Amino acid sequence: MKNILTLNEIIEVRKKLKAENKKVVFTNGVFDLMHAGHVDYLTKAKLLGDVLIVAVNSDSSVRKIKGNLRPITGQDERTFVLASLKPVDYVIIFDEDTPQNVIEKLIPDVLVKGADWSKDEIVGKEIVEAAGGKVETIEFVHKQSTSNIIDTILKKFKNNG
């Protein structure tokens, strides 16, 4: 897909967007089992600017932060699904535990995380604000998570298997 890029490619895109005065919104996450909460969140994030860039934890990064049983869905499938969603303009994969390096290189105009994060805990906050950008949080409307989906599947199959 043309909108799944490497870090170097997205840096070049960012330069072009800056020259065009486009407001770039950035968010990141695992996005393991896509659900309505993810789509709602990404739709609201896109409304904060002109272009939405989503950074996705690589499989090895997910294992480091969530354990060896995750991700359920591999990075190629996760990025393909994200890149296919209407609000998402670009997707990149990052290997580190946090997107700090990506944020330092892109310096988005708006940095977004879910409201389960305190603004003070959001990685890259200082970088974005120092450049005159904003940090926003988005409330979750759909109380859904990949962990909840996994728990539901396990309970249903345990009781009916």
Choose among 12, 7, 14, 13: nearest CA to 133: 14
Q: How far apart are the C-alpha atoms of 157 and 161, rounded to whole Å? A: 5
For residue 160, give every residue at least 6 positions away whose Cβ sits within 8 Å of its Cβ, in sequence order, or none. none
Q: Is the pLDDT of residue 70 over 60?
A: yes
Q: What is the pLDDT of residue 42?
A: 97
Based on the structure, what is the number of domains in the chain?
1
Q: How confident is the model at residue 110 (pLDDT cuts 50, 70, 90)?
A: very high
Nearest to 8 by CA among 88, 67, 90: 90
Question: Residue 23: what pLDDT?
Answer: 98
**Which are the catalytic amino acids?**
64, 66
Share of the chain above pLDDT 70, in %: 96
Q: What is the mean pLDDT of the chain?
A: 93
- Range from 45-49, 53-57, 65-69, 101-105 carrying the lowest mean pLDDT: 65-69
Angstrom distance (rounded) from CA 28 to CA 113: 7
Which pLDDT value is given to residue 153? Answer: 83
Encode pLDDT of 128-154 as tens digits. 999 999 999 998 776 667 677 778 787
| pLDDT surpasses 70 at 20 | yes
pTM of the model: 0.91
CA angle, residues 115, 15, 127, in degrees to nearest 5? 40
For residue 2, the model assigns a pLDDT of: 95
Specify the pLDDT at position 142: 60
Predicted local confidence at residue 4, as pLDDT: 98
User: According to the model, what pLDDT value does residue 54 have?
Assistant: 98
Could you tell me the CATH number of the domain that includes residue 125? Answer: 3.40.50.620
Q: Domain of 78? A: 4-160
Cα 52 vs. chain centroid, distance in angstroms?
10
The secondary structure of 58-112 as a DSSP string is -HHHHHHHH-TT--SS-HHHHHHHHHHSTT--EEEEE-SSSSHHHHHHH--SEEE
